[in-house]
Structure formats: structure tokens, C-alpha cells
Structure 1
Amino acid sequence: MERRWLELGKVLVTGANGFVGSALCAGLEARGMRYVAAVRRRIGAEQFEAGDIAGPVDWAPALAGCDTVIHLAARVHMMRDASSDPLAAYRAVNADATLALARQAAQQGVRRFVFLSSVKVNGERSPAGRPFSAQDRPAPQDPYGMSKLEAEQRLSEWAPRAGLELVIVRPPLVYGPGVRANFLRLLELVRSGVPLPLGAVRNQRSMVGIDNLVDFLLLCAEHPDAAHATWMVSDNHDVSIAELIGAIAAAMGKPARLLRVPPALLSAAAALVGKRPAAGRLLDTLQVDVTPALQRLGWRPPVAFQDGIAKTVAHFLQAGEAR
């Protein structure tokens, strides 16, 4: 399908100064699109300061003239959540605030609401040989995934009655220049040259490069067939953790230092020290089925996996040199 960017009107992007949000705004600028960047604290004249969206927010000034919202702002997944009631904290931002924004968007005449959810709605591990799909029964395992599922359910129930075109996107791990958290730690480990006991792991993981996610979100904002549906997205190139480390090492010009330790032994050791969930992100299979996006929307990831890894590594190395 030919992309017709000029048919897309003004866009409100929430979470605009985050990892995904900043890349999305850059993508809109590159396409000459008009947008409003909503951030927690304003640092530029062209931004809308939303503050803490868990509290009341008057979105009317930001929504004025917009026909599309791409809602990225969220309370992100945390490894060590210090909240006394994590589910309530996640729900306040990821579900309650999302529905409040959608209600105001509909009142302001917004046509389409694109909601960035998470593969964690599906679960933490996909069955062997059967990637997660949007039709699977949800099985979130933590408060973050539960809050995203609740947002999806409440939006799906309410949006049709309000005449709002709802699009839900569930990405797996997102990587790219400037990535942080677990992927950044993996980059640091590979750069250090420390041997990693993952050479025998033959799992399969879906990931999505930031450029590909941005491209897909923009397609979902404009494609007529994207509305009223939930979409899985990835690079359409699944890899094992050993293959991922190999790709990172190759981009760094280093050998991949991998020890062949049986995955069952690694899993047992992690369980003994209370680290099984963390080990699962390295050892378990988590795949998503992007066939509907390829067939129904005609989407093709514009950046190949190897190129996305190379860009990520190049930025990582340059940032290290600059420090």
C-alpha cells in the first residue's frame, strides 16, 4: 500500500520525551507532519506540559486541532518496584489516565486513538512453535501487564460508543540507539568481553527496533484497516539470546565469548537465588505473530534486524567515548 502521509492531520504524542516518544516525534518531523509533544515537564516552547497524568489533566489545549492521538506515556515496567501497592500505581497511570485522555480526545473531535500496550498482556513466555497473537487469551503475569490489559479492555468497551477509532499495538522488547535497562546491560557485558554462559540457549525472542516501531505506529495512525484492532509488531526476525549476543559482538568487531552451559542448569541456579523471572528474559521463548500486520496492512519492517543492531551498537560506543 502506498503511504499517504499528508492525509494524516495533526497528531498528539504523549510521552514525547521518552525513548519511543522522542523517536516518534523525529519520525513525524522527517515526514513534515504537524504534532504536539506532550511531556511530564516542559523543556521547550513547542511542548505541552502534562505533569503527573495520574492526576487530573486538562488535555484540551494539547488536543486542539488534533485528529489523532498516539498515546505512549505510561508507568513503565520496573524490576524493583518500591510502591506499597504496585498494581494501583500502574493502574492509575496506565489504565485510568489512558481512559481519561481518550474521553477528552473524543470530546475534542479526535478521530483515531493509537494506544501503545505491551506483549506482557499476552504473558512472559510463548508456547514452543506458537507465537503470541492478538487473539490469544491474555495472561499477564505482573502488575504492569495487568494494567495494560485493563487499559485495553476499558478502551475497547468505551471507544466504539464514543465514535473513536481505537488501535492497540503490543510490542515486545524495543531496542535502538539510546536504549536502556536490560538491553543496555547486555551491550555493556558484551563490550566488557566477560564470558557469558548462554552459548547453548536456543530460545527464540521477538524484538522490534525503534525505527520499525515508529514506522508501524505511523502506519497505524493512518491506515483505514488498522482501526478497531489489536496488532503485534516485531522485526519479523526472531533470534536466540546466543544469536543476539553474536550480532552485538559482530557489530562491535569483537568475538562472541559464549560458554555452552545447559539452559536447565542456568534456570535451576537462577531459581535457587530468586532470579528465575530475570533469567526467563534470557532463557525463555517469547515470539509474536506479525502475519496480520504483513498481510492486512501491507507492512514491511523498513530496517533489517542486523542494521538495527548495528545502529544501536554504534550509538552505544559513541556515547561511551563521549563520557
Structure 2
Amino acid sequence: MNILITGAFGFVGTNLAKSIKSELVAQLIAMDIFQPEDHVYDEFIFWDDLNKKKNEEFDTIIHLAGKAHDVKNTTDEASYFEINVELTKQIFEFFIHSKASKFIFFSSVKAVADEVKGNRLNESEFPNPKTPYGKSKLAAENYLHGITLPKNKKLYILRPCMIHGPGNKGNLNLLYKQVASGIPWPLGSFENERSFTSIDNLAFVINALLQKDIKPGTYQIADDEVLSTNKLIELIAHSKGKKAHIWCINKRIIQSLAKLGDIIHLPINSERLKKLTESYVVSNEKLKKALQVEKMPMKAERGIIKTILSF
């Protein structure tokens, strides 16, 4: 099995490659803008060399390359579309004319909604992203849906929620640093529920798509269980052998400070408070039905602990 992976040396690509190698006899071709000294891929090519591979017999193309969400909001909207849409067009055009039969595109739940209305987000929700990142991912999805594929080719659009695992440098890492420093968490009075995606469960899905005849379509990826921010803080503190310092300050006081922060630029404001305390629950039922499994292999709490211990 020959598999081409774009964005191969990012956090997800690095972990996926190791998992695929442990599960399958496969030739992995990495495509990225740089090549680290240590990796498990069999071959590396730059994006500019893609056309040189038009006669290669690939079985599957996994498109990971893209511009991730900028939490500091310093990136202009055009940059998201230039990378997340135009690169997708380029690699999908290559796929159409190649001998590959499967194209796996990594989108995001943020292509659908920045906040979940109701109990949980599912694939039937009408997409209404608010951020440039989400809008660009949805635009890429719409482009893919607009192409009529030959019957021998399959398209899978995957929408994971927050992915974590060894090597992760996202928000979970920032929360870890805060707890490890001993700074108390002042928002304990806000109870929320959030979905996460363990890199182990993500790898399980990819290996299934590579090996089995799964119905093509759009699928959300999430762990089965949800976790609250307070629970995350407890898990991080326990991993460090410490007691979790969670302050349950009256909600009204916190909300008043947040409104004041909107005016005089405090560390907390209404938007940041919402992001820190809101619930975001993602359904994975459609995916499990397609894979014919009752449960994902990695439990949410065990996956989080594995990630925390890797920091």
C-alpha cells in the first residue's frame, strides 16, 4: 500500500505515520515544506515536486496540510483561504488524475459551528462558521463536494474536534503550564462539557479507512466521553502529584469582571470567559456506525492522561 500524506511532519502527521507503520505494510510518502532529520516515512517530496509523482501508483492520499486556527487572531483571512482552500484544490486535482482510490481530507468541526446549540453537534447541522479558519475549511469542503468523482474513487471528509496526543502544542499544553505553575483556576463555578479527540482514536479511524470498504462521506471524530475543564485541571494536577487548586468564585462576580474587561482590557473579558467555560459536545455516532464499532478504543480520560504525561 502506497500512501501520500501532505503536512506529514506536523503533530497529526507524525503520530499517524507511526501508527500506520505499526498496523500496515505500507510505503509512506511525506509531502511538506520541510524535512526533519528523524522520521518514519520512506520518502519525502516538496510540494513543488508533486507533478513529478503523477505516474506513481498511490492507493490513498491523506491531506493534512493546512493553516491551523490562530488563537491570537493575528492572521489575515486571505491567508487561511490561500492555504486551506488552494492547497486542497491542488492536491485533489492530482488525486483525480492519479491511480489513488481514496482521498482523506482533514477538515474541522469549526467548519460547522463555533458554538454548539443544543445537546451535541452532528453532521446534519447546517454549517455556519464565524472564524476565517472555519470559513476556509468549509470552503475547501464545498469545493470537494462540487467535483464529480469516478466510481472507483472515494472521498472522506473528517471533522475532528480538538486533537491531542504526544507532541501536542495547543490549548491543552497552555492549560498544563498554568496548572503546573501552581496558579489557581478561578472559574470552578462554571461547569461545562467538552469533546476531545485522542490521537489514538484518530489513528484507529484512519487505519480503518485504509483497510476497509467504508462508505464515503463526511464524518465527525471525537472520543466517546466528554470532560469538563475542572476535570482536566484535576487530571493535570494529579499527574504532577499535586492537589488541584480550583476556586469556585461566584459566577456573577466573574461575569462582572469580564464585562469590565471589555472596557479596560483586563486578562478576562466576555469573549474569553465564554471560550473558557462554554460546552462543546460532538457526536461520533455516524462514524461508529460506518466503522461498525460500538466504542472508540481509547477512553477520553485515559487519552488525556497519556497526553499530559508526554508534556
When the two structures are superposed, what TM-score results if normalisation uses the length of structure 1? 0.85
CA shift, 1:282, in A, is 1.7
Match of 1:240 among 228, 232, 251: 228
Q: Is the 8 A contact 1:15 1:21 kept in 2?
A: yes
* CA distance in 2 between partners of 1:207 and 1:21 (Å): 18
Tell me the amino acid that sits aligned with residue 99 of structure 1. K
Output aligned runs, 1:135-146, within 5 Å: 135-146=124-135
In the other structure, the counterpart of 1:95 is: 85
How far has the Cα of 1:102 moved from its partner? 0.7
How many angstroms apart in 1 are the aligned matches of 2:127 and 2:49?
Answer: 30
Partner of 1:281: 275
CA 63–211 in structure 1, closer or farther in 2 if over 3 Å, else same: farther
Amino acid of the structure 2 residue aligned with 1:167? Y
Residue 3 of structure 1 is matched in structure 2 by none
CA displacement at 1:154 relative to structure 2 = 0.5
Aligned to 2:26: 33
**Which residue of structure 2 lines up, in the alignment, with residue 301 of structure 1?**
296
Once residues 49 and 81 of structure 2 are traced to their aligned partners in structure 1, the CA distance between those partners, rounded to angstroms, is 16
User: RMSD value over aligned CA atoms?
Assistant: 2.2
Q: Structure 1 residue 253 and structure 2 residue 241: aligned?
A: yes
Structure 1, 241-250 or 100-109: larger mean CA deviation: 241-250
Opposite residue 292 of structure 2, the aligned amino acid is G
Matches within 5 A, 1:157-306: 157-160=146-149, 164-227=153-216, 229-263=217-251, 265-274=253-262, 275-299=269-293, 300-306=295-301
> CA separation in 2, counterparts of 1:90 and 1:161?
29
Q: Per-residue deviation at 1:34?
A: 2.1
For 1:188, the aligned partner's letter is K
- Contact kept, 8 Å, 1:159 with 1:165, in 2: the verdict is no
Percent identity for Structure 1 against Structure 2: 28
Aligned mate of 1:126, from 116, 120, 128: 116
Match of residue 44 from structure 2? 48
CA deviations on 1:52-84 (whole Å, 9 max, x unpaired) are xxxx6634428722110111110111123444x
Equivalence for 2:94: 104
Q: 1:13 and 2:34 equivalent?
A: no
* 2:179 and 2:237 in contact (8 A); partners too: yes
**TM-aligned CA distance change 1:69 to 1:313, over 3 Å:** same
Distance 2:169 2:187 in 1: 21
C-alpha change, 1:62 and 1:222, in structure 2 (3 Å) is farther
Return closer, same or farther for 1:244/1:128 CA change in 2, 3 Å cut-off: farther
SS in 2 for 1:224: coil
Distance 1:310 1:104, change over 3 A: same
Mapped partners of 2:171, 2:182: distance in 1: 17
CA contact (8 A) 2:238 2:244 kept: yes
- Gapped runs of 5+ residues in structure 2? 263-268
Paired residues of 1:159 and 1:166 also in contact (CA < 8 A) = no
1:46, distance to aligned residue in structure 2 (A): 3.8
Q: What number of residue pairs does the alignment pair up?
A: 300
More divergent stretch after superposition (293-302 vs 239-248): 293-302
C-alpha displacement at 1:285, in angstroms? 1.0
| Distance (Å, rounded) in 2 between the aligned partners of 1:285 and 1:218 | 30
Aligned equivalents of 2:215 and 2:197: distance in 1?
19
Distance 2:196 2:18 in 1: 21
Structure 1, unaligned runs of 5 or more: 1-8, 317-323
Instruction: Please give the alpha-carbon distance, in whole angstroms, between the structure 2 residues aligned to 1:111 and 1:180.
Output: 33
Q: Structure 1, residues 204-227: CA drift from partner, whole Å, max 9, x if none? A: 100011111121122233432341
Equivalence for 1:4? none
